[in-house]
Amino acid sequence: MANLKEVKGRIQSVVSTQQITKAMKMVAAAKLRRAQDRIIQMRPYSQKLSEIIQNVSGGQTDVSDNPYSEERSIERVLLVVVSSDRGLCGAFNSSVFKGTKALIAERYSHVEAAGNLEILPIGKKAFEHFSKRKYNVIDTYSHLIEKLNFADVKEAAEMVMAAFLDGTYDQVDIIYNEFKNVATQIVKKEQFLPIKEVELDDSGADFGEIDYIYEPSKDFIFDELVPKSLKIQFYKTLLESNASEHGARMTAMDKATENADDLLKELRLTYNRTRQAAITKEILEIVGGAEALAQG
């Protein structure tokens, strides 16, 4: 059995750790509130913009003329992997890494074998993880999560879009955590480029039968709206991941605080038992000494 000094030292250590986890939980909760407000405000705008693109493009038979919709033989692939800059957020990062590797094994094993698969990590954890495992990593925008703003994200999106247009990549996918609530983050694997063909909506409406009048022109609308929609989609992805990170960290720190409580109960019980055993031992020694003196 451990002595009193060791148990007391462990109790103090756990108390200090619990104070840290409580503080981190509060900080994560404050950041989550702001991040959640940003993503809630962005979602309607992003969804409406995508809906406009789908409605307009659905009414045309020559949508494939748009360079961002060009389907090619998949020989060169870019995977944009969104993670956090820091740890202590549960399975937030590991889930994205596992999802990325599963996607590579499922769809792009031949591309990876040919050395034509590259990863654009957004977040220091993703950069460190894939760099250590000798993947082809682009370190240009791994810092974006640190100070998330549309200007920097727009620059990254434009780089990816330009690389697709000039044929550097035949397909671009994004892997990230989608924010559902504080306790739930879902790993999403979405095709960013080329833009997927429009399908029928849930009501079964066929946009292809609708005749649209364009103002000022169809070409202007596509030249302006499609790139803008892609940049907004890219930014929304990072906002989703950012909110998910704070939710995951808040949950992880809450669990850590609860675990510290359970551990403190056990340690204090051990401390009391050890103290009682020490007192009992001292009493027995005193009684034994007294009896020895009496017999002497």
The span from the CA of 221 to the CA of 233, in Å, is 17
Give the DSSP H or E segment for 118: strand 117-122
Closest CA to 193 of 216, 207, 172: 172
Residue type, 192: F
The first and second tokens of residue 187, run together, are 């790993």
Residue type, 271: Y
**Burial class of 139 by CB neighbour count within 10 A (0 to 12, 13 to 18, 19+):** exposed
Closest CA to 225 of 98, 90, 57: 57
The span from the CA of 24 to the CA of 131, in Å, is 28
Greatest CA separation found in the chain?
118
| Catalytic machinery residues | 89
